[in-house]
Amino acid sequence: MDIEGKVALVTGAAKRVGRSVALALAERGAELAVHYRTSERDAHEVLALAKKLGGKPVAVRADLASSAEIAAMVDTVMRAFGRVDILVNSAAIFYRTPFPTLTEADWNRFLAINLTAPFLLCRQVGEIMSRQGHGKILNVADIAGIKVWADFIPYSVSKAGLLALTTGLAKALAPAVQVNAVAPGVVLLPDDSTPEEQARAAQRVPLRRLGAPEDIARAALYLIESDFVTGDVLTVDGGRRLL
């Protein structure tokens, strides 16, 4: 796919990995629909950067726990651009949930945001792409979906489900739509992490460094630009899964 002029809807595009993927697409000439929920100021920073690159991006707010807001967001993008060529499901929640204190509310929230929302977006946007005769869907998963972390069980389960969804949709939406996933390792630690915690985390990675959002963006571009890859999971973790 030549990304120039294509319309890309990126969820969670205001911050972190979603922001880097969105701006990488804008640098390739894509027209952006920048999704956010609460990070309005950050979203408009992304809009300003995309406009400097020559695009005419739009910001779309939606609570991904609401199926009605998801549907309204896609409708907004269609009214703005008339099509969707690229969907990147990057938005997610992530926090520690030790099993003794894990609640049903925690469980439901992780599945709603990290798995059900991508499913609903893939269903609605996948139908649009199928009618168009082309499209690329990229799901941002996590190595936790492959190697489950004991203190992050609902998060890990949601990402494992996202990987299964990727495989199933690659079959269901072929040949018009390609569906792939990227599985980052440790890319960004929480904002309140100390230098010592960051150093310890880096030592647990064979390449001895933490990843950067730009590492994931480069992997995303490969999967989006490729026309003969579908149902694949590209792991970008510095070798962390090998340990």
pLDDT (tens digit per residue) in 12-45: 999 999 999 999 999 999 999 999 999 999 999 9
- 72 φ, ψ (degrees, to nearest 5): -65, -35
183's tokens: 């599985």
What does DSSP say about strands 58-61 and 86-89: parallel, antiparallel, or unpaired? unpaired
Write down the catalytic residue from 36, 95, 155, 222.
155
CA distance 217 to 194: 25
Summarised one tens digit per residue, pLDDT across range 184-210 is: 998 877 667 788 888 888 998 999 998
The one-letter amino acid at 30: A
Q: Angle of helix 117-132 relative to helix 153-172, nearest 10 degrees?
A: 20
According to the model, what pLDDT value does residue 190 have? 66
Average pLDDT over all residues of the chain: 96
Residue 78 has pLDDT above 90, yes or no: yes
Residue 166 has pLDDT above 90, yes or no: yes
The architecture (CATH level 2) of 7-187+213-233 comes to: 3-Layer(aba) Sandwich (3.40)
* Number of CB atoms found within 10 A of residue 75's CB: 12
According to the model, what pLDDT value does residue 189 have? 74
Q: Tell me the whole-structure pTM to 2 decimals.
A: 0.96
User: Residue 148 class from Cβ within 10 Å (0-12 exposed, 13-18 middle, 19+ buried)?
Assistant: middle
Q: Which of the four pLDDT bands, split at 50, 70 and 90, describes residue 174?
A: very high
Per the annotation, the verdict on 155 as an active-site residue is: yes
pLDDT > 70: what percent of the chain?
99
Q: Which of the four pLDDT bands, split at 50, 70 and 90, describes residue 127?
A: very high
Match 């920048």 to its residue by tokens: 34
Phi-psi map region of 211: left, alpha, beta (phi>0 left; psi -120 to 50 alpha): beta
Give the pLDDT mean for 61-68: 98
Between 85 and 203, name the one with better pLDDT: 85
According to the model, what pLDDT value does residue 112 have? 98
According to the model, what pLDDT value does residue 151 have? 94
Buried b / exposed e along 199-230 (16+ C-beta atoms within 10 A): eebbeebeeeebbebebbbebbbebbeeeebb
Match 């489900």 to its residue by tokens: 161
CA distance 48 to 125: 26
According to the model, what pLDDT value does residue 198 have? 85
Say if CB 202 and CB 209 are below 8 A apart: yes
Residue 80 has pLDDT above 70, yes or no: yes
